Amino acid sequence: MPEGPSIVIFKEAVQQFKGKKIKMACGNARIDIGSFAGQKIQDIRSWGKQIFICLENITIRVHFLLFGSYSINEQTKPDKSRRLGLVFSNGSVYFYTCSVSVIEGDLDALYDWEADVLSDVWNAARARKKLKSMPETMVCDALLDQQVFSGVGNIIKNEVLYRIRLHPETMLGKIPPRKITELITEARNYSFDFLKWKKAFELKKHWLAHTKKICPRCNLPFIKKHCGKTHRRSFFCENCQVKYH
């Protein structure tokens, strides 16, 4: 569940608790859960792949990593993987196998909200500037850079590169400006498509490259390779996806 759009779906699902008081808090996350009960939820926000539950004085940050999951308004069994549970008068939310931490201070000062590809304040020009400053970075690594494209994960990476016909191992500095524009545009566009399809439970159906063996455009086999410094799986077509030199 961990890419940005999945977090947006979660955020929307828990807005019902905004303004509500925490009746009971539990879990085995190594934070001071004891102080949560009685506090009112000020806001619930997301930035990329993480969710923020803003209390009166501190903010709880949850990152689902690779295996995290949650349940909303469901009975849950006692569970070693239960990191945090918050119970309200109108329901509950439980977080499993995820990273939970407490943040003090102003969230706006800590994160570049304009870097979130799914945010209303997404700033394409700013992303372009960041990309320009890292010409020696492969585009497959750049897409996964949360400081540039917060919320983009490996699926979105592969699908965006396939859509714009760009080879994952292309160095940013070698990519023509128009192609950079496409890259930035599609990183956001595909994220919204991902969101739409995920909500309809039909995300996988729309994958053109990720985990695929044959290129739907030319029917040649995809290359599967762990690319770049991030060593994440890339699925690409050497025939259709250009590597600029």
User: For DNA, which residue of 14, 62, 155, 187 counts as binding (CB under 7 A)?
Assistant: 155
Q: What element of type H or E holds 237?
A: none
Q: 31 with 100: CB under 8 angstroms? A: yes
CA dist 192 and 172 (Å) reads 24
Residue 118: φ, ψ to 5°:
-100, 5
Of 48, 96, 35, nearest to 68 by C-alpha is 96
Q: Which of residues 28-47 bind DNA (CB under 7 A)?
A: none
Task: Tell me if 170 contacts DNA by CB under 7 A.
Answer: no
Q: Which of residues 47-106 bind DNA (CB under 7 A)?
A: 48-49, 63, 65-67, 69, 80-81, 96-97
CA dist 77 and 223 (Å) reads 43
Q: Which of residues 101-140 bind DNA (CB under 7 A)?
A: none
Q: At closest approach, how far in Å is the CB of 125 from DNA? A: 23
CB of 206 or CB of 233, closer to DNA:
233
DSSP string over 28-61: --SS-GGGTTTPBP-EEEEETTEEEEE-SS-EEE
CA dist 168 and 162 (Å) reads 9
CB of 49 or CB of 188, closer to DNA:
49
Q: What element of type H or E holds 104?
A: none
Q: Which stretch binds DNA (CB under 7 A): 33-41, 87-95, 113-121, 146-154?
A: 146-154
Q: At closest approach, how far in Å is the CB of 23 from DNA? A: 25
CB of 76 or CB of 90, closer to DNA:
76
Q: At closest approach, how far in Å is the CB of 205 from DNA? A: 13
CB of 17 or CB of 83, closer to DNA:
83
User: For DNA, which residue of 58, 233, 240, 242 counts as binding (CB under 7 A)?
Assistant: 233
CA dist 171 and 134 (Å) reads 9
Q: Which amino acid is at 95?
A: F
Q: Would you tell me which residues interact with DNA (CB under 7 A)?
A: 1-3, 6, 48-49, 63, 65-67, 69, 80-81, 96-97, 144, 146, 153-155, 210-211, 229, 231-233
